[in-house]
Structures are given as C-alpha cells and as structure tokens.
A = this chain, B = another copy of it.
C-alpha cells in the first residue's frame, strides 16, 4: 500500500535539474502551505539529482514569499560533487516567482561512521497514552489547518495549556509525531517534521501565524522506524523575531535532526 506522504512529495522530472511538483492542499495552514512540507519537496528533488547521495545532511532555506497549493517547479544546481558530500542550490518557484531558495549538503547517511557521543538529553515527554492528540482539536481549527490531518501529533500535557488559555510561557512545545497511517520517518521526511508543530509562540498565548524567514535542518542519522519525539524551544524574542530550535529523536533514543529557524513574532 502506498502512503499519501509519498504522493504529496512526488515529482516529475522535466530535465536534468528541474522538476514539476503539485503542492498539496492538505498541507496548508491558514491559507499558506507549510514550510516544512515544502522543504521536503525541495529535499526530494535534490535527492533525485544526486545519485548515490540520497540524504540531506544540512539544508538551509530562506523563505521569500508565500506559496499556494498547486503546480510548482523545483530547480536544482549541483555546486560540488565528489567525495562523501555534495552541495546543491535549489529553488522552489510558482509562475515567475521564487518562493523558497535553499542550499543543501547531501551524503549517504548510512555510509557514515557509526560512532555516536551525545550529551544532549532526550525530551522528557509523557507516554503516548497520557498525551493530548491533535485529533481532539476543534473542528473550526482543523478547517483552517488541514495539515493536522496529515499526522498524529500527541502533545505532552505540560505543553498544551495554550489551547485552553493557560500557556506555560516556558517557550517549549513538545510531543510525539507520526505521519498518517503510520508511515515511518526517513531523512527527507525529517525536513518537514522540524516545521510541523504549531509555532512555539503559542506557548506564550500568542495565537497568530509566525512566518519563517530562515530554516536550517541538520539530519544527523537515518531515523529508526516508529514514532519520533519532537521538541521546539525559543530562548530569545527580540526585534520582532524569535528563533525556534527543534530536535527530533527517534524510537531508538537517537538525536536524528536538529534545526533552528528564525521567524517573525506573530502580530497580536
């Protein structure tokens, strides 16, 4: 059986370095298309451009203007090949307008050395049966955020107070994440996971949309099958912007992705 995710990030190759995509309505939130999903679409195009180096190691994207569902073009340009790493520039465009521009370094993650030494601490998230599922979100919210039907997101109970008017004000959102129908994670999918949760500004009771200026994701390992833990944290709100640091940990207890984005603080 195919999973909807694979259809949603599918591309048809137009020529050497350009691809047609059909951006899925189901990944919209508040009218815009989720930036993490778009990064996975771009990441998929880069992967197909690089035989033998399928996996993102580091992807940096600057978001220029809002994307709408429907046709889009991803163009890739290989800047360096050879050795263990390749570097590629990629743009996602609709009509004449570039929406997202990205730089990426790719490799074959499974061919890298196995040693791991981590002092980072796995997010402390309650067991799944004690978490609050996004399936309990009010119908009117789901209507403006169809992306919530794309995945199971189980919020740690200490991070969901904002939904009932009692934000924790710690600048922390965390929970369990899994694509719909239990599709297992992979390196390309992790690009989306790093931007799938609501903005951490909600943990301050600020409910608006937080447009991403820049998002960099480092994929540190191929994720094991199963649920992942995701945490989003901000520690500096300044100049009308905030950083959002994300970690993704896999079911084997390994830190598989680290990302940071700089986003606009929502208008009150």
Q: Beyond the given A79-B98, A109-B239, please list 16 additional residue pairs across the A-B interface where CB-CB is below 8 A.
A: A57-B241, A60-B60, A60-B62, A62-B104, A85-B213, A89-B89, A112-B239, A115-B238, A118-B238, A119-B170, A119-B236, A214-B218, A220-B241, A236-B255, A238-B254, A258-B260
Known: A60-B214, A64-B79, A80-B65. A238 touches B116 (CB 8 A): yes
A139 at the interface (CB under 8 A from B): no
Write out the residue numbers on chain B whose beta carbons fall within 8 Å of the beta carbon of A76: none
Q: Decide if A216 touches B216 in the complex (CB within 8 Å).
A: yes
Q: A60-B62, A262-B218 are in contact. Are A113 and B80 (CB under 8 A)?
A: no
User: What residues make up the interface of A, taking CB atoms closer than 8 Å to B?
Assistant: 57-58, 60, 62, 64-65, 79-80, 85, 87, 89, 98, 101-105, 109, 112-120, 170-171, 213-214, 216, 218, 220-221, 235-241, 243, 254-255, 258, 260, 262
Q: Which residue of B is nearest A77, CB measured? A: B101
Chain B residues whose C-beta falls within 8 Å of the C-beta of A236 in the assembled complex: 116-120, 220, 255, 258
Partner of A238, one of B60, B240, B255: B255
Q: Which B residue's beta carbon lies closest to that of A169?
A: B119
Residues in B whose Cβ lies below 8 Å from that of A85: 213
Contact A62 B103 (CB under 8 A): yes
- Which B residues are in CB contact (< 8 Å) with A112? 239-241
Q: Chain B residues near A64: list those with CB within 8 A.
A: 79-80, 87
